[in-house]
Amino acid sequence: MTNQTEPERTDLRDDATALQVWGFPVIFAQRLRLRFTDPSNPHGERPSTSAGAPLNVLGHQRELSNPTLTAGVAPNVDTLYSLAFVDLDSGDFELSLPDFADRYYSVQIGEADSSTNTVIGRRTHGSRIPPITLSRQTSEAADTGYTEGRIACRSRFVMIAIRILVDPSRHGDLMEVNELQQHIALTGPPAPPTERTELALSTVERSDELQRPRHFLDALDHAIDNLAASDVPPWVGDAHCRLNDALDRAGDRDAAEQAITEGLVSGLETIATQVKSMGRTANGWAINDAGADFGTNDLLRAAVAYSQVYINPAAEASYPVCEQDETGRPLDGSHDYAITFPAGELPPAEFFWSMTVYYARGLLYANELERYAITDRTPDVHYSTDGSLTVMVQNGCPTTENTANWLPCPPSPFRLMLRLYGPKPSCRWSPPPVVRQR
């Protein structure tokens, strides 16, 4: 028998919902780090599509992403990644890169709360960036970001993500990028001994971490410890304590766990709903014009982490997301769809663009063509006589002879994502609608 009143249960649900929205990106960023560094087996063999490596070590993705890559969410199939998660409490790191000539590349520094500290590369420095030193900024009053070869970060753990564009239509281009990766160097202190908590967290299922109260609170507690104090609003600590206290009261434990679980699930539903309408909406697409500049908008930050995570700032890239057709019906592979870009209205990107299909949960779909996106580099794409480009998104092979414009989708709910790298600022572009054909 419980002593909790309905108002008390409502308070617990509300606390859990708010903590889920605030904490989802923080927990997911932590989970991403643990997945890629694999603290239980850091030196184990990894697939060629993974850029994973031990903590404080730079790893290289040797092949473009495909459905075997299940870490993270919504991987791109345009660039190879060189990736490192580093512990700045162990010391400073220096990153040096080769000259990339006319090839697109970028270096993103991601904080432990899933926000982006800095992105530099072709857009900011042309073909080559001078050596960079990364350090943790211990003074709350000091500025973070890039200044004269130094990047000051707020978090203990930060992500270094280097993207290098690959052109699959050019023979040998992948090998050229692999060679460039060999000339990227990250130097710094070795990783400290693995913490017991990190090992424990790395074995928890993601669904448990998001929906089971103890797992959620433990993961959030550890993640908060590695953030800057200024990144954690006071209410977060207060709500965290209230939920923990409720679970520790023997007579009320079951009722408290139920109320908190309901709140966590409600928070996830709120985030998933926001994905469909984050930023502005146009023709069924959700377009986040703010990019990685979340400010105090916790729900936007959570929705971005849910559908993309660690996105670039708006000046570097734009990521329109679509989960509905032209009439608002959810996208589902039991139907066929067409997307027509009128002549002269292809995605306005300086560096490259692509349109990728994912399962609703953000993973790539294995298909007979081994095609996961239509891009500005897709060979033999057919344009109509009026100059328009129509992409067919469907599960089964189109009846037309030309399959170059076919983007296979799963036979179930799915999501589309456009990527515009170097979005041209002269216009506020909106993608065309996704039109159901049958």
Mean pLDDT over 204-231 rounds to 93
Six-digit token pair at 170? 């050019």
**Shared domain check, 340 and 268:** no
Q: Could you give the CA distance from residue 320 to residue 318 in angstroms, rounded to a whole number?
A: 6
1: in domain:
no
Q: Could you give the CA distance from residue 167 to residue 173 in angstroms, rounded to a whole number?
A: 6
Q: Could you give the CA distance from residue 2 to residue 282 in angstroms, rounded to a whole number?
A: 49
**Shared domain check, 207 and 61:** no
Q: Could you give the CA distance from residue 133 to residue 151 in angstroms, rounded to a whole number?
A: 6
pLDDT at residue 141, rounded to an integer:
53
Q: Which of 233, 248, 275 is the last residue of a domain?
A: 275
pLDDT at residue 140, rounded to an integer:
65
Residues 145-167 pLDDT 10s:
778 899 999 999 999 999 999 99
**Shared domain check, 205 and 305:** no
Residues 241-293 pLDDT 10s:
999 999 998 677 889 999 999 999 999 999 999 988 788 899 999 998 878 88
**Shared domain check, 316 and 397:** yes
**Shared domain check, 303 and 180:** no
pLDDT at residue 1, rounded to an integer:
38
CATH number, domain containing residue 115:
2.60.40
pLDDT greater than 90 at residue 345: yes
> Which of 35, 34, 66 has the alpha carbon at shortest distance from 357?
66
- Which uninterrupted H or E stretch holds 117? strand 116-121
How many distinct structural domains can be found in the chain? 3
pLDDT at residue 418, rounded to an integer:
97
pLDDT at residue 76, rounded to an integer:
94
Angle, vertex CA 365, rays to CA 394 and CA 283, nearest 5: 50
pLDDT category of residue 349 using cuts at 50, 70 and 90: very high
Expressed as residue numbers, the domain containing 241 is 6-26+196-275
Residues 37-48 pLDDT 10s:
999 999 999 999
Mean pLDDT over 69-77 rounds to 87
Residues 371-427 pLDDT 10s:
999 999 998 999 999 999 999 999 999 987 678 999 999 999 999 999 999 998 766
Six-digit token pair at 242? 């209230």
Q: Could you give the CA distance from residue 247 to residue 260 in angstroms, rounded to a whole number?
A: 9
Share of the chain above pLDDT 90, in %: 80
Residues 304-328 pLDDT 10s:
999 888 989 999 999 999 999 999 9
**Shared domain check, 244 and 380:** no
Mean pLDDT over 63-89 rounds to 93
pLDDT at residue 364, rounded to an integer:
97
Q: Which of 187, 205, 227 is the last residue of a domain?
A: 187
Whole-number average pLDDT of the chain: 93
Residue ranges of alpha helices (H) inside 163-233 are: 173-181, 196-202, 206-211, 213-225
377: in domain:
yes
Q: Which of 157, 187, 217 is the last residue of a domain?
A: 187
CATH number, domain containing residue 395:
2.60.120.600
How many CB atoms neighbour CB 397 within 10 A? 13
pLDDT category of residue 52 using cuts at 50, 70 and 90: very high
pTM to 2 decimal places: 0.92
> Which of 203, 362, 159 has the alpha carbon at shortest distance from 272?
362
37: in domain:
no
Residues 9-31 pLDDT 10s:
889 999 999 999 999 999 999 99
Mean pLDDT over 338-362 rounds to 95
